[in-house]
């Protein structure tokens, strides 16, 4: 983005100006010239420009509202210097660069009575690093309309959720079906609708844990109408165990469990403990291999922002991942603000900040934690949290709705871009990101 040199102010006085000056002096001496007239009022700034942010290469906009009884002229300033051609009450800066970050912009409004200057607003430019990002091909690009990849196995296979037949399956990188465990190739995830014999309820969300004991643990979340999650109404969810020999057992069912939760995310701790994040309350539970629940930490949201029994799942985000034995959790969306936490094996809860407007997903890979965060204007950014707690930008400036699906054994990160409205549960395309080495 280039800005012109500051406008030059002319100080020359023409003969016509001098004549008018002499005439004004003469009229004043004679008592004429309208001594009872009032000078025009200065302009009034009704709304000042606000701080704004934009991804690198995109457009940033500042605006102000000014009231005046007489005609107005405008001039925008960058760091106090006039911007050539910026003579409207709206300033549009195209293709902002990282070098523009931190610059301040203000508006000078002028009428016959004089000039006023607005408060200065700051521009923040977010990096849009796109090197190493590729649209997935092969098996991911050739999934059926009703299929979506919801994660990666420890060996890099694809976990596939089919919303048409309500089945979970597994495909290798070549697209061939392989058993989930033993000889079982598909697991039906659906439950009978109470009071409606013959009708099946489809899970709203499915998460998978490939445990070190060789078993597969599958958590499914159910919702009410319009994406509403409500455990009080019994929507809740279930957890299945698929043994190495393919034997399947329903180990948790919120409909008849003493402790009713919505098992939104599932992960393995240092000692093989299985942790589940309750979508509604934000509490974290341990679950035994037989389905017995035990609360690990209580509700993580502040007391003044208790989560009600009803949440809009589509606009609320809950993420959990375990990295180097520590649990990382993020909450954002409706109705709560953004809250991020780190929880040690000793259950010490430390509020932290991932420095974003919300986390869309967390995934661990060895000692590294990956975050898909929400930036300004609904753009998404992939970051990596290093062992010292610092955050490293990996890729960013993605438009559309993205989800972090997992990290492959070779360290490549898989993102899914949700298709436009009308194609629910379907990803329009998948992105493979190769992060830089540390």
If you average pLDDT over residues 4-32, what whole number do you get?
A: 36
Tell me the residue ranges of DSSP E strands in 227-337.
228-229, 237-242, 248-253, 263-268, 274-278, 284-287, 293-297, 311-312, 316-323, 326-333
Percentage of the chain modeled with pLDDT above 70: 79
- 361, 354 Cβ separation under 8 angstroms: no
Q: Which residues contact 218 (CB under 8 A, 6 or more apart)?
A: 168, 187, 189, 206, 207, 208, 209, 239, 240, 242
Question: Per-residue pLDDT for 240 more than 90?
Answer: yes
Q: Residue 314 gets which letter from DSSP?
A: G
* 32 — pLDDT class (breaks 50, 70, 90): very low
H or E segment and range at residue 97: none
Q: What is the pLDDT of residue 34?
A: 46
Sketch out the chain's domains with CATH numbers: 39-126 (2.60.40.10), 133-433 (2.120.10.30)
Question: Per-residue pLDDT for 274 more than 60?
Answer: yes
Q: What is the pLDDT of residue 56?
A: 79
Q: What is the Cα–Cα distance from 105 to 321, expressed in whole angstroms?
A: 41
Q: What is the Cα–Cα distance from 205 to 426, expressed in whole angstroms?
A: 12
If you average pLDDT over residues 28-45, what whole number do you get?
A: 67
Give the lowest-confidence range in 95-104, 149-158, 294-303, 428-437: 294-303
Cβ neighbours, 10 Å, residue 333: 18
Q: What is the Cα–Cα distance from 355 to 73, expressed in whole angstroms?
A: 39
- 407, 154 Cβ separation under 8 angstroms: no
Handedness of CA 320, 321, 325, 328 (dihedral sign): negative
Handedness of CA 379, 152, 147, 234 (dihedral sign): negative
pLDDT in tens, 334-389: 545 678 899 998 999 998 888 777 888 999 998 899 999 887 666 788 999 988 88
In sequence order, the β-bridge partners of residue 92 are 61
H or E segment and range at residue 92: strand 90-93
Q: What is the residue-averaged pLDDT of the chain?
A: 81
Q: Is the peptide bond before 335 cis (omega within 30 degrees of 0)?
A: yes
If you average pLDDT over residues 154-168, what whole number do you get?
A: 92
């Amino acid at each position: 983005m280039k800005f012109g040199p500051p406008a030059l102010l002319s100080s020359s006085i023409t003969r016509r100006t001098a004549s008018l000056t002499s005439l004004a002096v003469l009229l004043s001496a004679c008592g004429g010239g309208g001594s009872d007239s009032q000078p025009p009022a200065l302009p009034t700034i009704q709304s000042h420009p606000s701080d704004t942010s934009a991804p690198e290469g995109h457009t940033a906009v500042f605006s102000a509202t000014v009231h005046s009884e007489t005609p107005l002229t405008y001039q925008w300033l960058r760091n106090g210097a006039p911007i050539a051609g910026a003579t409207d009450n709206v300033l549009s800066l195209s293709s902002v660069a990282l070098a523009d970050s931190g610059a301040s912009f203000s508006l000078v409004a002028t009428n016959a009575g004089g000039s006023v200057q607005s408060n200065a607003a700051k521009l923040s430019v977010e990096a849009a690093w796109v090197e190493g990002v590729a649209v997935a091909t092969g098996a991911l690009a050739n999934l059926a309309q009703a299929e979506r990849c919801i994660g990666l196995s420890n060996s890099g296979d694809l976990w596939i959720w089919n919303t048409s037949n309500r089945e979970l399956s597994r495909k290798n990188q070549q697209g061939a079906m392989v058993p989930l465990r033993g000889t079982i190739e598909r697991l039906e995830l659906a439950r009978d609708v109470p009071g409606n014999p013959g009708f099946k309820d489809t899970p709203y969300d499915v998460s998978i844990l490939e445990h070190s004991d060789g078993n597969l643990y599958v958590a499914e979340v159910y919702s009410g109408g319009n994406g509403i999650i409500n455990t009080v109404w019994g929507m809740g969810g279930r957890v299945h165990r698929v043994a190495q020999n393919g034997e399947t057992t329903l180990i948790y069912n919120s409909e008849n469990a003493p402790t009713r939760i919505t098992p939104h995310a599932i992960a393995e701790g240092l000692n093989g403990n299985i942790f589940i994040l309750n979508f509604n309350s934000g509490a974290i539970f341990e679950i035994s291999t037989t389905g017995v629940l035990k609360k690990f930490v209580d509700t993580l949201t502040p007391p003044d922002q208790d989560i009600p029994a009803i949440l809009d799942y589509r606009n609320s985000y809950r993420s959990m991942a375990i990295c180097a034995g520590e649990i990382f959790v993020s909450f954002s969306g409706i109705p709560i603000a953004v809250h991020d936490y780190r929880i040690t094996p000793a259950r010490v809860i430390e509020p932290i900040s991932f420095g974003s407007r919300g986390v869309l997903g967390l995934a661990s890979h060895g000692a590294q934690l990956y975050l898909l965060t929400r930036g300004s204007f609904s753009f998404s950014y992939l970051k990596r949290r290093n062992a010292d707690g610092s955050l490293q930008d990996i890729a960013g400036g993605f438009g559309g709705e993205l989800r972090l699906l997992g990290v492959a054994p070779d360290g490549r990160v898989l993102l899914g871009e949700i298709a436009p409205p009308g194609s629910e549960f379907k990803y329009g395309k998948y992105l493979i990101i190769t992060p830089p080495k540390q």
